[in-house]
Structures are given as structure tokens and as C-alpha cells.
Chains A and B, each alone.
Chain A
Amino acid sequence: QKEVEQNSGPLSVPEGAIASLNCTYSDRGSQSFFWYRQYSGKSPELIMSIYSNGDKEDGRFTAQLNKASQYVSLLIRDSQPSDSATYLCAVSGSQGNLIFGKGTKLSVKP
């Protein structure tokens, strides 16, 4: 059974701090990695995709991938209360489908 593991949280950080979200996956053949943000009652929204080892930055968001360690992370700099949401890590499976982690709930306190 292919798995994607995330710490469910809640992760609480003060406004302006860096939030660090982590994800591990079991399938060494996975090629594509995504982070989705989901507000309560809403649908998931793609915020980052990463396909090769290293860092990828987009505004306040940085995704980091280490395929050898089967680890992917998301850093959110200068966290804002509006970043409070559940963050879902998703990894491509062997059939080309997406496997989601259970999500990490982030709370940014003003």
C-alpha cells in the first residue's frame, strides 16, 4: 500500500514566522509532488508542484524535495492569518493517480 504521511497538527505559528510542513512517502517510484491548501468547507487549491530534487520558490512559499530520503516539505515565510488552512501533500502513484496525505492543519496566530 503506497502511503503519504503528514503530521496532522495542528501546527500553530505566530504571524510573521516561518511555518514548516513535512511529508514522507513510501513509493520510491513517485515522480511528482504537490502541495494543496484547503480552507474549511472548500476544495483543495494547488499552491506548489515540484518534480526534481532541491528547492523551488514561489513568493512566500518554498517546496523542498529529497527523493533519496523520500521527503518533501513546504516552507511558508512571513506567515499570515490568511494562511490558516489544512495543507495536503500529494504524490503521484504508480497508476498516475494522486495519493494524498491526511493533511496538516496550520493555524497562524495574529
Chain B
Amino acid sequence: DTEVTQTPKHLVMGMTNKKSLKCEQHMGHRAMYWYKQKAKKPPELMFVYSYEKLSINESVPSRFSPECPNSSLLNLHLHALQPEDSALYLCASSQEGTAYNSPLHFGNGTRLTVT
């Protein structure tokens, strides 16, 4: 069982909808990450929060909006998505504020389909 919990597991949304993905960890980890993964591709980094502050934004389109309400929670707000945004969205956390000497632990992911 993963110690990083993501909800929902599956999400289908239209291009005009607004939805949110949620992620929670209770391991006291100091960094949380959003990755996007398309089929047969490696995970692509989207955002990193370190000590609750956004530290990395990999030039992600503004239709994706991250939020870190506290050290245990990470949200990804979605609006006006495109069908090509359909993918597996992975949340991860690491004990330290970066991946130096601190492995990432992934949640089970949210399978997003945009229609």
C-alpha cells in the first residue's frame, strides 16, 4: 500500500469543466511533486513544492494550477483542458526538500480522460 494517497483514481471531464486532483501524505515529507505520464513514456515533472512553496514550475500551461494548502496536502486544479491532456497524473513526495539523497514516493495516480 502506498503512503501517498491520490483521489480520485479515475476522472473523466469535458473541456469546459473545472475539476481538482488531490494528494495527501502523512509521512512528514517536505517536498511534494506533480508528474504527468502518457502511455509508454516516462513521468514528466510538472511542479515541485518544497516546504510548501512552489520551487519548480516546468513551464506548465496555466490551465493546470497547483496549490499546496499545507505540508500534507497538494492539489492540482484543472480547467479548460484539452484532449491531449489525458494522461496518468502522479503525485509524489520526498522526505527532504529536493530529490538529493531523498527518493520520491509515488501515489497510485489519477487516470484523467478529457473528452
For A44, list chain B residues within 8 Å (CB). 43, 90, 106
Q: Is A88 in contact with chain B by the CB < 8 A criterion?
A: yes
Q: Are B41 and A98 in contact (CB under 8 A)?
A: no
| Assembly CA distance A102 to B39 (angstroms) | 11
Size bracket of the A interface: 20 to 34
Q: Are B98 and A43 in contact (CB under 8 A)?
A: no
Q: Is B83 in contact with chain A by the CB < 8 A criterion?
A: no
Q: Is B71 in contact with chain A by the CB < 8 A criterion?
A: no
For A101, list chain B residues within 8 Å (CB). 42
User: Contacts A44-B90, A46-B104, A51-B101 given: A88-B109 contact, CB under 8 Å?
Assistant: no
| Partner pick for B42 among A31, A97, A102, CB 8 A cutoff | A102
Using CB atoms, name the residue of chain B closest to A102.
B42
Size bracket of the B interface: 20 to 34
Could you say which of B33, B42, B98 has the most chain A C-beta atoms within 10 Å of its C-beta? Answer: B42
Tell me the smallest distance from the CB of B96 to a CB of chain A, in Å: 8
Using CB atoms, name the residue of chain B closest to A99.
B45
Q: Is B103 in contact with chain A by the CB < 8 A criterion?
A: yes
| Assembly CA distance A49 to B45 (angstroms) | 19
Q: Is A92 in contact with chain B by the CB < 8 A criterion?
A: yes
| Partner pick for B99 among A42, A88, A96, CB 8 A cutoff | A96
User: Contacts A100-B42, A101-B42 given: A43-B101 contact, CB under 8 Å?
Assistant: no
Q: Is B66 in contact with chain A by the CB < 8 A criterion?
A: no
**With A93-B99, A95-B98 already in contact, 8 other A-B pairs whose C-beta atoms are closer than 8 Å:** A32-B103, A43-B88, A46-B105, A46-B106, A92-B100, A96-B98, A96-B100, A98-B104
Could you write out 6 A-B pairs with CB less than 8 Å apart? A36-B106, A43-B106, A44-B106, A95-B55, A96-B97, A100-B42
Task: List residues of chain A with CB under 8 Å of any chain B CB.
Answer: 31-32, 34, 36, 42-46, 49, 51, 88, 90, 92-93, 95-98, 100-103
